[in-house]
Amino acid sequence: MGGLLSRMDNFLFPQQTAFYRGKVRDVYTINSNLLVMIASNRISAFDVVLPRPIPYKGQVLNQIAARMLNATADICPNWLISTPAPNVAIGKKCNPFKLEMVVRGHLVGHAWRTYKSGVRTLCGIELPEGLKENDPFPTPIITPATKAEHGHDEDISKEAIIAKGLATTSEWDTLASYTLQLFERGKAIAAKHGLILADTKYEFGKIGNTIYLMDEIHTPDSSRYFYAAGFDERQQKGEHQKQLSKEFVREWLIAHDFMGKEGQTVPEMSDEWVQTISNRYIELFEKVTGEKFQPEYLTEDETHARIIHALQQLNTK
């Protein structure tokens, strides 16, 4: 149950023109203009796929992303067309910008590590003095990163993006405007559920001259949430903030001497630990959406049939 979708690369769809297996998702290109994206139950950390799938993880992330894309469709066009199965999204194939539009409302993660080292400029943006970890910025900042085909993504400034031809000035203005509007909407949605959206990232692409929002948004895998209750008090006392993300998986790996470095071995994952991770992802879904999670189990044949039916419907439109 729930361990479904470990072998989805067995699928073959009519008019399929490409297949790509990522760390946690399998992506099929249909007729060069549609994508079938299957969110597997694989889980990765430190750029390594862990040895055991997590029941319902794919459904959790796919359904959060679909809700968030639908909740922001008035801000900008997005790639999503339908979600015919719990783990499956079908959408438009875009020509992607080789950028991640990272937006930060709080000084956390990579931004904090940079700041703590004494650096006060991030992606060409001057950071104010006197901030502590997790403090909010006066206004959200955009700190883009290049999409590296190999190795890690790297910070890049607006000026370098334009100089390298990764986006024109006009495209950058649109990307930045969409990013800030999406972030404000994400913060508002989070606030309704007692959460603070601290930082997140968006990816965009083009079809013709139109810019589309791509991929998943506002999921705990692509975003960092804090619990709003007690946030100010914890900041004043210098205490750790309660986070809603998959950070707990990374912390478990670190405690077992694994950080993805050469020579390190991934620790064994017991049945109990796998179930714990699954339960935490379900909790994440319910906190972020404010809805009760409804687990769905489909066989591979049922999933395949639903995707085929959805593609047929698109072809008849």
- Distance between CA atoms of residues 266 and 243, nearest Å: 24
The C-alpha atoms of residue 54 and residue 284 are separated, in whole angstroms, by 14
More confident of the two residues 272 and 10: 272
pLDDT on residue 243: 86
pLDDT of residue 220: 85
* Phi, psi dihedrals of residue 185, rounded to the nearest 5°: -65, -45
Q: What percentage of the chain exceeds 70 in pLDDT?
A: 95
Kindly state whether residue 50 falls inside one of the protein's structural domains.
Answer: yes
Query: According to the model, what pLDDT value does residue 142 have?
Result: 98
- The pair of structure tokens assigned to 265 is 């071995």
| Per-residue pLDDT, 149 | 62
Count other C-beta atoms under 10 Å from residue 262's C-beta. Answer: 4
Here the tokens at position 195 are 């959460």
Residue where the block lists tokens 């190999």: 150
Residue 1 has pLDDT above 50, yes or no: no
Q: What is the structure's pLDDT at 145? A: 95
Helix (H, G, I), strand (E, B) or coil at 257: coil
**Predicted pLDDT at 163:** 97
**Which is it for strands 195-207 and 145-146: parallel, antiparallel or unpaired?**
unpaired
Q: What is the distance between the alpha carbons of residues 268 and 252, in angstroms, rounded to a whole number?
A: 11
Which range of residues forms the domain containing residue 124? 96-244
pLDDT at 244: 84
Q: How many domains would you assign to the chain?
A: 2
Same domain, 168 and 272: no
pLDDT, tens digit (0-9, with 9 covering 90-100), for 90-147: 999 999 999 999 999 999 988 999 999 999 999 999 999 999 999 999 999 999 999 7
On average, the pLDDT of the chain sits at 92
Please report where in the chains the tokens 């703590």 appear, as a residue. Answer: 116
The answer to whether residue 10 scores a pLDDT higher than 90 is no
Read off the amino acid at residue 257: D
Residue 19 belongs to a domain: yes
**Are 14 and 84 in the same domain?**
yes
Q: Provide the β-strand partners of residue 204.
A: 213
- 1, part of any domain: no
